Each structure stands twice: as structure tokens, then as C-alpha cells.
Amino acid sequence: MTHAPRPLWPLLAALAAGALGVAEWWAGRDGEPPRAPAADPAPAPAEAPPCPPEHLLDDGVCVPLPPPETREPESSSRLELLPGRPPEHARYLTPIAGRPATASKSGLGVFVAAPRGTPVMAIALEAQVGPARRLLLGGAPPRLLTLHRVERAGAPRAYVLIYDGVSVEPSGEPSELPVGTPLGRVAPAPVPGLGIEVRQLRRGVDLGSLVAEAALLDSSSLICDARNVLPLKPAP
């Protein structure tokens, strides 16, 4: 007995449907909208400072800074006239008795006009502790310096007075200078007189081993208005 051949149209219909489905999927893929690029990750929040204001991190520990009035100036190399100090130069005592002081060319020192040969004497600064010490800066002629210790409100300071226009005898050893000790005499000059500049030594400078050359370095001292430390004349 022979079998009748099966019709092919159901198989052809299935193949056609499959092909149509693939075509529709491909067409739909081509029409997909482009994907938006991934957004950058949000920036991490800023870290809080490790220490509160007026503190400094030291080996993992927040150390409070000293009050501003006790800090050493970092960038300034000039100490201007302090509040409350009289601005008139003539109100201050100088190493030449009986002659008024005027402003020096630098603006922070003093100049005392005096004839050649006028004696120059050691003085004590305001709130000075102990006698001053004499230093000489080498040269021809040598330049005189005096070192003074001062204590105000329990805070010790040291100052160097630098003398110009005075003739001194060379000496290799520093020496103590009680008030009134002769320092020298006014030297010959077109405009004879004594000039004084003042420098405040920085904290940590060893006064015992300080030499004249080192005292004038910016790393050792600051220029200071002479009126901050010179004694005031007694009230009339």
C-alpha cells in the first residue's frame, strides 16, 4: 500500500514566519535610540581639616598655637613704633647727654648731632636687666655694638645697639658696661654726630656665644624702631 506524499506548504509557512521574525528583530535593533554615556562618578566630599583653627598637626596630635603676641614674626624684618610710645625723638635719652635726638636716615634709628670729640656714654634701655655688654665689629675703623637684656611683663628680650660716627679703641674681648661707662667719642665727619640703630634678637639666639657679625644677620635679629627701647627723659 502506498502512502500519499505530505503537503510542503506547512513547512514553507513556518520557515517564512521565522525569516520574517528575524527581519523584524534586526530592523528594530537598527532603530534603537543611542544609549547615553555613563555619567562621571560624583566627586568625593572634601575632607575636613585635621585640626581646629589655631592648632597645628604635630606627629598626629593637634597642638594649640601660642597667642599672636608671643609668636616670632616670620616674614617681617622690621619692628615699627609700638602703640603708646611717643613719636617725638627728642623725648628719648641717648648716649650723648644734653643733646636732642632726631630721626635717622633709615627712619627707625636716631641721630644726635654733636661736635667732634663729644663723649659717648653707655645707657640702660627701658626695663633693662643687668649691665650691657660691649661688642666690636671688625673693620677699619671698628664699629661699636652693645648688647642689652630687657624684661617686660615677664617676657625676656635682647637688643643690639649699633653705633655710627663714634671712635672707639679696638678690643678683642666683650666687656660689661655699667651705665655711664665711656664708649668713645664722636668721630670727625662732614656732619658730626652719633647715629644709633637697634635690632631685636630672635628667640633662641645664644647670647653667651653671640659675636658681632652674627648679631646683624636677619637670621639672628630684626630691625627695631629705637624709640621702642630707648628710655624716656624724665618729665619736667
76-115 pLDDT, tens digit per residue, is: 578 999 999 999 999 999 999 999 999 998 889 999 999 9
* 170-226 pLDDT tens trace: 765 568 899 999 999 999 999 999 999 999 999 999 888 888 899 999 999 999 999
Range list of H helices, the chain: 9-30, 212-215
| pLDDT in the model for residue 6 | 58
What CATH class has 84-228?
mainly beta
Cβ neighbors of 56 (< 8 A, separation 6 or more) are 62, 63, 65
Instruction: State how far the Cα of 167 lies from the Cα of 74, in Å rounded to an integer.
Output: 36
| pLDDT in the model for residue 22 | 47
Cβ neighbors of 131 (< 8 A, separation 6 or more) are 176, 177, 178, 179
Contact between residue 121 and residue 182 where contact means Cβ atoms under 8 Å apart:
yes
Contact between residue 100 and residue 90 where contact means Cβ atoms under 8 Å apart:
yes
Instruction: State how far the Cα of 201 lies from the Cα of 157, in Å rounded to an integer.
Output: 7
| pLDDT in the model for residue 210 | 87
Answer whether residue 71 shows pLDDT above 50: no
